[in-house]
Chain A
Amino acid sequence: MNGFPSGYRYTKSHEWIAVEGKTGKVGLTGYAQDQLGDITFVELPQVGRQLKQGEVFGVVESVKAASDCYAPVGGRVTAVNGRLETEPDLINRDPHGEGWIFQLEITNAAELDSLMDVETYTRYVAEQGEKG
C-alpha cells in the first residue's frame, strides 16, 4: 500500500484532500478502498451543501460494508464526481485520481493543519495493519 500521493493531506478516517488555492478535491485512500473491497455504491453530497470539518458527507458501500465518509475540512461543496453513480468501482481502480468524490471551497485553510501528511499517514496505515 505504498504510493499515497505526496502532495495530499490525509485523515484518520482515510479520506484524502488535494488542495489547489481555495479549492479541495476529496476522495478515499487506496487503503480505505482495499479495506472495503469491491465498492458498489457511493452516496454523493449535494452540491452547495455546507460541510463542517469531520461531518459525514456521504456513504461508500461495498457488498458487505457501509462506511460513513467524513469531510477532511469544512467548506461548501462545489462539484461531485457524477461518474461514481454508474461506476462506483472507479474508487477501487483509481482511488487518488479518477475516483475522487467531491470538490469543496475550503472555509478555513487552518483546518488543513490538523490533517496528516503522506509520511505520517503511511506510518498510520502501517500501524492499522498491525492491529487489524
Chain B
Amino acid sequence: MTRQETAPPRPGRGTEPLIFELSSPGRIAYSLPALDVPDRPVDSLLPPSALRTRPPELPEVSEVDVVRHFTRLSQIQHGVDIGFYPLGSCTMKYNPKVNEDAAALPGFAGVHPYFPEEVVQGALELLYHMEKYLCEIGGVSRVSLQPAAGAHGELTGLLMFRAYHEDRGEHRTKVLIPDSAHGTNPASAVVCGYETVEVPSDSRGGVDLDALRRLMAPDVAGLMLTNPNTLGLFDENMHAIAEIVHEAGGLLYYDGANANAIMGVARPGDTGFDVVHFNLHKTFSTPHGGGGPGSGPVGATRELEPYLPVPLVDFDGRRYRLVYDRPKSIGRVKSFYGNFLVVVKAYAYIRSMGPDGLRQVSEDAVLAANYLMRKLAEHFHLPYDRHCKHEFVVSGVWQKERHGVRTLDMAKRLLDYGFHAPTVYFPLIVPECFMVEPTETESRETLDAFARVMAHIAEEARQQPDLVKAAPHTTPVKRLDEALAARKPNVRWQPET
C-alpha cells in the first residue's frame, strides 16, 4: 500500500497530497556541478561525533513533481490578484508587478549586506531617499528602515520610549492602549517590559478623554494609538489626546497600520506623535506574501530620533554611508538593515505615485470605504454612524439575534461567492464584527458586486439560515474543524513506520 492509502486523514478530491506523499526513493529534482576539488571523506574533515548518521527525510521527487505540486496548490488559494480581499486593517491593495521586477533586479537581489560600501552606493542611495520620503509622509525627523513588520516597529518604538525616559532618569512602567487596539500593541508593550492599561473608547469610537485623563499618570510611559483607529474612525480629539499625554510627561506612539487613510491629509508627526511606524506591506503596496515578509519602518521626531536603531544611512555630499556611531541608539532590532527588497518595492511605489498620487490614494480609499459602508448599512448594523476613513465596521448582531446566523457563517458564505471575507471579530469592542477595508485599487463595480453579495447573504440568513451556517459549500475544502486541530495537534507530517 502507498502512504496515501494508509495515512489518516486523507486528502480529498480537489485537494493536493503532501509533497512527502509524492516521494519515491531515488528521485531527484536538483543538479549541481561535479565536485571539482579533491574529494576527501567527510569524517576526515569533521569530528565524527558532530556528524549526522541518518539523512533527513526530505522528499525525493522530480522537478516536475515540485512544480506541479505547488502550482496545483496555488490553484486553491485566494489572493489579491484573484479577487477582492477586503481584510480590514490589512490594506490588501493591488501589488504592482513592476515593483516585483525592481526587487528581483540582480543589482538588488544579488547584493551581500557586507559588501564594501563603495560598491553598494545604489542600494544605500535608495535607502537614504526612502527615509526622506517616509519622513515627509509621516512628518517626522528621521526614520529607521530596520524593523521587519508592524509589530517589530512597535517593539522598536516602545524600546525608544523606554530609553528616552531612562535618559531623563524617569522610571515609567505602564503603557496605555485603547480597547480597540490591535493585539500586537499590548503584546509589544509587554515584550518591552511594560504593564498595559486599557483605555476605553467613547460612544463615537474615539479615545474616552475623561478616562485618559484619569489614567494618565507619572508612571505612564505613553499611549499607543492607531489613527484612524481600528473602527476606521479618525480621532477628532487628536490634539487633546496629545496634550493630555504630553503634559503628564508621556509619549505618543502611532501605529501606522491605517496610514492609507491620511497620506497628504494629516501627518502623524504634526498631530503630536513622537514615534510612528509604517507598514510598507499595507500602505505602500508591497505584497503580503501569504503572511510576510513585511516591513515596519519607524520614524521619530527630533527629540526621539537619537534612540532609533542603528545603522542609519547618511550622505556626506559624496558618498552614502552606514552610520553606527549613535550613542543613544537602542541598538539593532534585527540583523543587517531591514527587509531591503520590501523597501525597494515600496520605494518603487512612492516613485510611481508621487505626492499627488499618494494623496489621491487616501482620498479614493476613504471614498470607497464610505460608499461601501453606506451600502452595507442597509442590511447590517452600523455601530458608529459617522463618516469612516479607509475602513469601517458593521456588525452581524441582527442576523445572529434574529436568525441564529453568526458573522463567522456569513464570512464563510462570502467565500462561496468568490470574495475573501473581511476581518471578523476584530476589533473586540464590536460584537459580531465585520471589519471591511476595500482599498483604493478596487473599482466601483467591484464594490457594488460585493455589496450585492452581502445583501444577498443577509437575505439568505433570513430565508435559509442553515445554508449559511453550513457554508462554505463551493470551496476546495468545506468548513474546517479548528477545535480538532487544537485538541490533537498534528503540526508535522510523520513518515509511516
Bits for A18-58, please: 1 = Cβ < 8 Å to B, else 0.
00000000000000000001101100000000000000000
Q: Which residues of B contact A40 (CB under 8 A)?
A: 483, 486-487
Whole-angstrom distance from the CB of A36 to the nearest CB of chain B?
11
Interface residue A89 (Cβ < 8 Å from any Cβ of B): yes
Interchain residue pairs with CB less than 8 A apart (12): A38-B483, A40-B483, A40-B486, A40-B487, A41-B486, A62-B483, A63-B482, A63-B486, A64-B425, A88-B487, A89-B483, A132-B431
In this complex, the interface size class of chain A, counting residues with CB under 8 Å from chain B, is 10 to 19
Which residues of A are at the interface with B, using a C-beta cutoff of 8 A?
A: 37-38, 40-41, 61-64, 88-89, 132
Instruction: State in angstroms the CA–CA spacing of A63 and B425 once bound together.
Output: 13
Q: Which residues of B contact A61 (CB under 8 A)?
A: 486
Main secondary structure of the interface of B (DSSP, over half): helix
Which residues of B are at the interface with A, using a C-beta cutoff of 8 A?
A: 425, 431, 482-483, 486-487
Q: Which residues of A contact B486 (CB under 8 A)?
A: 40-41, 61, 63
Whole-angstrom distance from the CB of B183 to the nearest CB of chain A?
12
- Nearest B residue to A63 via CB reads B482
Q: Which residues of A contact B425 (CB under 8 A)?
A: 64
- Nearest A residue to B431 via CB reads A132
A-B contact count (CB 8 A): 17
Q: Which residues of B contact A88 (CB under 8 A)?
A: 487
Q: Which residues of B contact A63 (CB under 8 A)?
A: 482-483, 486
Whole-angstrom distance from the CB of A12 to the nearest CB of chain B?
19
Which of B425, B482, B487 has the most chain A CB atoms closer than 10 A to its own CB? B487
Whole-angstrom distance from the CB of B430 to the nearest CB of chain A?
13
Q: A40-B487, A63-B486, A64-B425 are in contact. List 6 more A-B contacts (CB 8 A).
A: A37-B483, A40-B483, A40-B486, A62-B483, A88-B487, A132-B431
Whole-angstrom distance from the CB of B425 to the nearest CB of chain A?
7
Please state if A41 and B487 are interface contacts (CB–CB under 8 Å). Answer: yes
Q: Which residues of A contact B487 (CB under 8 A)?
A: 40-41, 88-89
Whole-angstrom distance from the CB of B484 to the nearest CB of chain A?
9
Instruction: State in angstroms the CA–CA spacing of A64 and B183 once bound together.
Output: 13
Whole-angstrom distance from the CB of B404 to the nearest CB of chain A?
14
- Nearest A residue to B482 via CB reads A63
Which of A37, A40, A61, A64 has the most chain B CB atoms closer than 10 A to its own CB? A40
Interface pairs A-B: 8 shortest CB-CB: A38-B483, A40-B486, A63-B482, A40-B487, A63-B483, A40-B483, A63-B486, A88-B487
Instruction: State in angstroms the CA–CA spacing of A7 and B425 once bound together.
Output: 37
Whole-angstrom distance from the CB of A42 to the nearest CB of chain B?
10
- Nearest B residue to A41 via CB reads B486
Instruction: State in angstroms the CA–CA spacing of A13 and B188 once bound together.
Output: 27
Whole-angstrom distance from the CB of A31 to the nearest CB of chain B?
17
Q: Which residues of B contact A64 (CB under 8 A)?
A: 425
- Nearest A residue to B487 via CB reads A40
Instruction: State in angstroms the CA–CA spacing of A89 and B486 once bound together.
Output: 11
Q: Which residues of B contact A37 (CB under 8 A)?
A: 483
Instruction: State in angstroms the CA–CA spacing of A118 and B442 once bound together.
Output: 55
Q: Which residues of B contact A38 (CB under 8 A)?
A: 483
Instruction: State in angstroms the CA–CA spacing of A64 and B487 once bound together.
Output: 13
Instruction: State in angstroms the CA–CA spacing of A38 and B431 once bound together.
Output: 19
Instruction: State in angstroms the CA–CA spacing of A88 and B486 once bound together.
Output: 10
Whole-angstrom distance from the CB of B495 to the nearest CB of chain A?
24
Whole-angstrom distance from the CB of B417 to the nearest CB of chain A?
24
- Nearest A residue to B486 via CB reads A40
Instruction: State in angstroms the CA–CA spacing of A62 and B425 once bound together.
Output: 15
Whole-angstrom distance from the CB of A67 to the nearest CB of chain B?
14
Instruction: State in angstroms the CA–CA spacing of A54 and B487 once bound together.
Output: 28
Q: Which residues of A contact B431 (CB under 8 A)?
A: 132
Whole-angstrom distance from the CB of B407 to the nearest CB of chain A?
12
Whole-angstrom distance from the CB of B459 to the nearest CB of chain A?
27
Q: Which residues of B contact A41 (CB under 8 A)?
A: 486-487
Instruction: State in angstroms the CA–CA spacing of A132 and B431 once bound together.
Output: 8
